[in-house]
Structure 1
Amino acid sequence: MARKKNKTIISCAITGAIHTPTMSDALPYTAEDIAKQALDAAEAGASILHLHARNPLNGAVSIDPDHFAKFLPVIKAETDAVINISTGGSLLTTMAERIAPAKWASPEMCSLNMGSMNFSMHPLADRYDDWKFDWEEEYLRNSDSYIFRNTFADIKYVAKELGDDLGVKFEHECYDVGHLYNLKFCLDTGMFKAPIFIQFIFGILGGIGADMDNLMFMKQTADRLFGDDYQWSVLGAGNSQMSFATTASQLGGNVRVGLEDSLFIKRGELAESNAQQVTKIRRIVEDLGCEVATPDEAREMLGLKGPNQTAF
């Protein structure tokens, strides 16, 4: 499906499961802060809000549906932005546990990782001597032993439980070129229906590196595999966030920013909020001649079921 001319979807990933509270005072972890930052990001121009939950007492990653329930209805009541719930969340739990929030909420979109991989944040632990919460250092250091499990059986399970049963569409997260071939297999065997939405992810330790040649290779591979039956977006982790988003927008793609992916607004300067990152990429995209898609335009482009079909 061809993208609407000059329309660029901005996704914003509000808090994620990588960064910890010590790393930035701007990283939201209470329900109130997650909701506020999500609403501010939508006001700034994000048409999709990608959401994880946190334990409000200590900022630890949470996949407890009760934690999601504290902020999802608040966000939906105040914005028409598309709500996209993570199915990654924790690397140490079962897929059934990981999708429990989405099963409860039946959102318009969910992320879905398209392959198992090493996924590590352990080098970040060496940057800090003092920690806000006791769990943070061990969480980061132990990630060198994590395998992010997303087998074909896992993917099929999520496709059935969320896609077939609830009408959820997926942000297919592809951390390497092999994940594109996994997705092609799943599409050909009927797990998913076009149009599909692919998030190319660069710069995560364990995935493909943040090199522009890799962006071109991923895009060329996806074109060959999926033709006109897909929309695509780019997530550049850390310092590659804005450069990769800018390049993607000029190649006809969509973009993702947010404190899940980078804590910075520019090299060496922490972002004040998610909205600050959205504002920056929106200005860049518009200055370079593209228009930012509204939530309803994003829904049309991605074939979403609409907010009236969610359960929260």
Structure 2
Amino acid sequence: MRTNKRKVIITCAVTGSVHTPSMSEHLPVTPDQIAEQAIEAARAGAAVLHLHARNPADGSPTPDPAVFDLFVPRIAAETDAIINITTGGSTRMSLEERLAYPLQAQPELCSLNMGSMNFAFHKAGRGITTWKHAWEQPYVEGSEDLIFRNTFRDIKKVLAQLGDAHGTRFEFECYDVGHLYNLAHLVDEGLVRPPFFLQCVLGILGGLSADPENLFLMRSTADRLFGRENYAFSVLGAGRHQMSLITMGAIMGGHVRVGLEDSLYLSRGLLASSCAAQVLKIRRILEELSLEVASPEEARAMLQTKGQDKVAFRD
């Protein structure tokens, strides 16, 4: 029997909260830069745009809804991509701060980390001798002594206040096998219903390393817990593991995530000039593998989001 050709969703994580301005001049930090790079990424083929906010004055991560309002409505007006707002923010933000803008915006999709964990990126600061802003060095080096918090009660609050109340779907970020079991517990409790959008995050210190064997482990565990027909599987490879790992994920039947949140590089030793450059690279790889890239509308159908007309972005 002939089956429809599988489509691959490209997610682009535009700026995140790990990398700092001193690490790359191409990292978007102002509202205009974030908007421009997100729009370019969507035009290059990203169906989902994963967004964090930065303080326009110094590039530090911020949960301020007023800052999100400076770029999210523009992105929504100039693209048809699914806008995915973080609920992770950074390790230095409270849950209330992390939820402030998502609750205001009521987007189609939000990220949701599936557990508390060590989340260390202090090694990213090695080799930097001159920092552009005073906040950067203590922020990066201090990550060695911080924990990202998402307890079961925290997760339930996000599911209730965003999912149940506003129809937002979730990118369930799983950094370890235990996070898949955390999600399975929530399924058993009746708090999460398929189809799930699982983002397998490998390469963060504190979670699973970016070894191919770990990707196989995450995929097989998800199959066993949920049944392959009940979830969409996406792969994120941190840093230098980005392209090789997500290519493997696509071959295994998954979707892919790129962006300067996850890696500052396009290839070994070459900084990416933009998020769109990474989108174009993975798009070329996918097409050479005879895989088709999903449009935003096709991604909406796969992820069963509520649609652009049911969000609350401010003009």
C-alpha deviation, 1:94, in angstroms: 1.9
C-alpha deviation, 1:192, in angstroms: 1.3
Residues in 2 aligned to 1:50 and 1:258: alpha-carbon distance in whole angstroms: 9
Letter in 1 for 2:116: S
1:263-302 matches, within 5 Å, as 263-302=264-303
Letter in 1 for 2:283: R
Match of 1:59 in 2: 59
C-alpha deviation, 1:123, in angstroms: 1.3
Match of 1:83 in 2: 83
C-alpha deviation, 1:187, in angstroms: 1.2
C-alpha deviation, 1:4, in angstroms: 6.3
Letter in 2 for 1:273: S
Match of 1:41 in 2: 41
Residues in 1 aligned to 2:292 and 2:46: alpha-carbon distance in whole angstroms: 12
Residues in 2 aligned to 1:166 and 1:234: alpha-carbon distance in whole angstroms: 27
1:1-312 matches, within 5 Å, as 5-227=5-227, 228-312=229-313
C-alpha deviation, 1:117, in angstroms: 0.3
8 Å contact 1:113–1:150 — kept in the other structure? yes
Letter in 1 for 2:189: T
Letter in 2 for 1:270: L
Letter in 2 for 1:256: R
Letter in 2 for 1:173: E
Residues in 1 aligned to 2:208 and 2:141: alpha-carbon distance in whole angstroms: 21
In structure 1, stretches of 5+ residues that fail to align are none
Letter in 2 for 1:32: D
C-alpha deviation, 1:126, in angstroms: 2.1
8 Å contact 1:257–1:278 — kept in the other structure? yes
8 Å contact 1:6–1:289 — kept in the other structure? no
8 Å contact 1:31–1:71 — kept in the other structure? yes
Instruction: Single out whichever of 253-262 and 122-131 deviates more from structure 2.
Output: 122-131
Residues in 1 aligned to 2:5 and 2:163: alpha-carbon distance in whole angstroms: 28
The secondary structure found in structure 2 opposite 1:99 is helix
How many residue pairs get aligned? The number is: 310
The secondary structure found in structure 1 opposite 2:5 is coil
C-alpha deviation, 1:124, in angstroms: 1.7
Residues in 1 aligned to 2:92 and 2:47: alpha-carbon distance in whole angstroms: 31
Letter in 1 for 2:293: V
C-alpha deviation, 1:5, in angstroms: 3.2
C-alpha deviation, 1:92, in angstroms: 2.2
**Structure 1 pair 4–30 and aligned structure 2 pair: CA distance change class (3 A):** farther
In structure 2, stretches of 5+ residues that fail to align are none
Residues in 2 aligned to 1:247 and 1:291: alpha-carbon distance in whole angstroms: 15
C-alpha deviation, 1:90, in angstroms: 2.1
Q: Percent identity?
A: 56
The secondary structure found in structure 2 opposite 1:74 is helix
Instruction: Give TM-score scaled by structure 1 length.
Output: 0.98
Letter in 1 for 2:105: A
The secondary structure found in structure 1 opposite 2:126 is helix
Letter in 1 for 2:215: L
CA RMSD of aligned residues (A): 1.0
C-alpha deviation, 1:223, in angstroms: 0.4
1:103-129 superposed Cα distances (whole Å, 9 cap, x missing partner) = 011000000000110001111222201
Instruction: Single out whichever of 3-12 and 226-235 deviates more from structure 2.
Output: 3-12
8 Å contact 1:4–1:301 — kept in the other structure? no
C-alpha deviation, 1:230, in angstroms: 0.5
The secondary structure found in structure 1 opposite 2:180 is helix
C-alpha deviation, 1:281, in angstroms: 0.1
Residues in 1 aligned to 2:254 and 2:178: alpha-carbon distance in whole angstroms: 20
Residues in 1 aligned to 2:86 and 2:274: alpha-carbon distance in whole angstroms: 20
